[in-house]
Structure 1
Amino acid sequence: MATSAIGPAFLTQTATFTDDFMASFAFAIVVSLIIDIGVQLNIWRVISVSGMRGQEIANFVLPGLGFLIAGLIVFGGFAFNIANLGGAGLALNVLFDLPPALGAGMTAVITIIIFSIRNYGKVMDRLMQVFGVIMVIMTGYVMFTTNPPYQEAFVRAFVPEDYVILLLPIVTIVGGTVGGYISFAGGHRLVDAGVTGRENVGFVSKAASYGILTTGLMRLFLFLAFLGVVTAGYTLDENNPAATAFLVGLGDIGYYMFGIVLFVAAISSVIGVGYTSISFLRSFHPIFEKYNSWFIAAFIAISAVIFIFLGEPVRLLIIAGALNGIILPIILITILIASRKKKIVGDYKHPTWLVVFGAITALFTIGASIMALEGLLDLFR
């Protein structure tokens, strides 16, 4: 879940918001972390206890709702996978001077090979863990070299200059961390690994919290690295803002280090998107279960072909991003209702504080979905 969330958009998003809001962006990071943990604890616990995937739970709550959510997530997954492959292509261009289209194609081939391995689940798990460690260590090193104002960032984490203007970045990074397919990336992996039932609730809660804390740590390191750059008077490259901190901190070596971080972020997100998107189809027909790895491979291959021949379809990405904002409250409300249905969770008692926390978060994300819907309508005006 953590490495799926940390993709090329995650890097660019963090750089842009740091440039816009400076040290006050720390407050948005703290608030979003609290919201993210509440969302994931609700979703993962209900999924694990029920032993059902998200679309199956949704169809139990309201017949047909699971098909709608699956359709939206698969569509959004295609759009984001195109962007992830584009990020991988850019990374290989930085590292080996390869054309981005060729780099994207090579990344697609690598990920398809991973999913063609007989027990790809264990290989995927280990690779994602290694990728996460690489990203955090490298970014943490760059953070120290840019010498950010730690004290100011700590103060602004609790007392920002303006609370209201931080609503947009909070909404955006919440959607980017637990929106759309990412909400289910870890939960569905637990179901496939057989980590289900009441006896595993403690483990699942820890896993959900660790996943969110990993993304939070990566976001914090990136934020401080970028903050050190902009407070020193440097201007982030508008075409590739995330690369600036690595360049300023370590010079040419830093630029190649950025290429490694970008590639790891991109390929881990390609793996996460492919796996989770197709997991939403597995319960609809036996063919999706039987040939699961083949469908994942096709999903990645089609994404690569679209990128190679059409480039990054900006309009499609904007639509997918807006849909992520709309999907999150639907998902969360569905899970909260499911947590009270015995035919889904049996005699498991979902904690009241989690339900209340989830309800508050749902109200917040409804506001986010309205903003997303307005943006989507503006696109077609």
Structure 2
Amino acid sequence: MSQTPQTSPIPTEVMRGGFLAAIFLMATSAVGPGFITQTATFTAKLGSAFAFAIMASIVIDFVVQLNIWRITALTRRNASETANAAIPGSGYLLAILVMIGGLAFNVGNIAGGGLGLNAMIGLDPKIGGAISALLAIGVFLSQRAGFLLDRAIIGLGILMMIMTVFVALSSNPPVGDALRQTIFPEVIDFATITTIVGGTVGGYITYSGAHRLLDKGLVGPQNLRAVTNAALSGIAMTGVMRFVLFLAILGVVASGVTLDLSSQAANPAAQAFAAALGEWGMRIFGVVLWAAAITSVIGAAYTSVSFINVFQRLNERSRNIATVIFIGFSLLVYLMMGTAPAAILVFVGGFNGLILPIGLSIFTYVGFARSDLMGGHRYNRPLLIASAIVCVLTWYMGFKSIGPIFAFLSV
């Protein structure tokens, strides 16, 4: 990760490609298999009231991503290095937590890949997960790893969006009721909000796009406006995608279909897609979940390994090797686990939601008190105030939700 100022102008096409890659890396990480499974699970439980949790996640996402992308661009350091410079030792803590959370999420992502191929072609989930992980490993073993990373993330992200919109249009959801409960929910569940926030902006997801921009040298005050626009574009894209997916499943639930949440082998999202479009719905679900899973495997591994720099600076080749090892270990853990994949995907969202306030607190402190780390730049005060409010909110939700989240796997 470069920490030195950009000495020559970056070609326009490189900037455009870099920002696009960062946007899609953040978006596909935020709308991964965890979010898909969580959305089906919580929509079945809460119905239209779940719209409030999604809106809360988007608002929190807006504050978190915008501040972290901008501060990362100004400090020219990755998150753990910024944390260490601000509060000695905190970067090591943040790196360890994110890497543990990234490993947990990657086990869930590989599980999602297995579920996706199972729905798509009937393949055993364990075999499907292994195939998905091996394909992700192939990206990082390639001599053109960076190019393949960007193209795979963008292409699969577009595929996910098109297919989910198609299912949402087919399920005929009660849009009016969903919009009403976005603002005036009948039920507010803090454990649900923490889990969905963790699955969309917690842990490694918070830093994925920011670190991709850093790798491409798109940093410094001269790029701050473009970084802000890219962050806003990514947040808008993920927000639309989240609501469209929610509406697709809500249409099925509102029609009277009961999704199975009790069975250890339950796959509620697959049931919803199948109820909407029959056999074709199941196949489309498989494609959407698999695309979400493999992009999230790539994103989780890439971002988690980027935190190793605080312990040992790696060149590109060494980092790619470390990423391959990270994915391989995640696959081994998944193959050895007996927990149902859907349960893994919901649990790790909650776990990463508990990590979020730690990193955000450090970045908020940097914005308020460490302008020296940002080249003397006086950071935007309204954004910092919003960040401080979200810090308090995420700490509160985390403490309120510890019991329900860690009890989930015993249900």
User: Do these two structures clear the TM 0.5 threshold for a shared fold by scoring above it?
Assistant: yes
Partner of 1:6: 31
Q: Which residue identity is paired with 2:382?
A: W
Partner of 1:263: 290
Compute the displacement of 1:161 (Å). 2.2
Q: Which residue identity is paired with 2:198?
A: G
Partner of 1:185: 208
Say whether residues 1:302 and 2:329 are aligned partners: yes
Say whether residues 1:248 and 2:271 are aligned partners: no
Partner of 1:343: 372
Compute the displacement of 1:125 (Å). 1.6
Compute the displacement of 1:330 (Å). 1.2
Partner of 1:208: 231
- C-alpha change, 1:267 and 1:253, in structure 2 (3 Å) is same
Partner of 2:352: 324
Q: Show the 5 A alignment for 1:52-63.
A: 52-63=77-88
Compute the displacement of 1:84 (Å). 1.1
Partner of 1:118: 143
TM-score computed with the length of structure 2 as normaliser: 0.86
- Checking the alignment, whether the CA contact within 8 Å between 1:29 and 1:220 is kept in structure 2 is yes
Say whether residues 1:93 and 2:93 are aligned partners: no
Compute the displacement of 1:32 (Å). 2.1
TM-score computed with the length of structure 1 as normaliser: 0.93
- C-alpha change, 1:248 and 1:148, in structure 2 (3 Å) is same
Per-residue CA deviations over 1:176-233 (Å, capped at 9, x if unaligned) read: 1111111000111110011100111111112212222222112111111111111111
Distance in 2 (CA, whole Å) between partners of 1:205 and 1:135 is: 25
Percent same amino acid at aligned positions?
42
- Checking the alignment, whether the CA contact within 8 Å between 2:116 and 2:290 is kept in structure 1 is yes
Alignment RMSD: 2.3
Say whether residues 1:279 and 2:302 are aligned partners: no
- C-alpha change, 1:378 and 1:310, in structure 2 (3 Å) is closer
Partner of 1:130: 155
- C-alpha change, 1:336 and 1:288, in structure 2 (3 Å) is same
Distance in 2 (CA, whole Å) between partners of 1:203 and 1:146 is: 37
Partner of 1:370: 399
Q: Which residue identity is paired with 1:293?
A: N
Partner of 1:228: 251
Per-residue CA deviations over 1:218-268 (Å, capped at 9, x if unaligned) read: 211111111111111111132111012211221101111111111101101
For 1:237, what is the secondary structure of its paired residue? coil
| Residue ranges of structure 2 left out of the alignment (5+ in a row) | 1-25
- Checking the alignment, whether the CA contact within 8 Å between 1:282 and 1:288 is kept in structure 2 is no
Distance in 2 (CA, whole Å) between partners of 1:313 and 1:338 is: 41
Q: Which residue identity is paired with 1:180?
A: G
2:383 to 334, 351, 354: 354
- C-alpha change, 1:23 and 1:378, in structure 2 (3 Å) is closer
Partner of 2:164: 139
- Checking the alignment, whether the CA contact within 8 Å between 1:82 and 1:312 is kept in structure 2 is no
Compute the displacement of 1:318 (Å). 8.0
Compute the displacement of 1:94 (Å). 2.4
| Residue ranges of structure 1 left out of the alignment (5+ in a row) | none
Q: Which residue identity is paired with 2:35?
A: F
For 2:387, what is the secondary structure of its paired residue? helix
2:94 to 69, 82, 90: 69
Q: Tell me how many residue pairs correspond in the alignment.
A: 379
For 1:35, what is the secondary structure of its paired residue? helix
Moved more, 192-201 or 319-328: 319-328
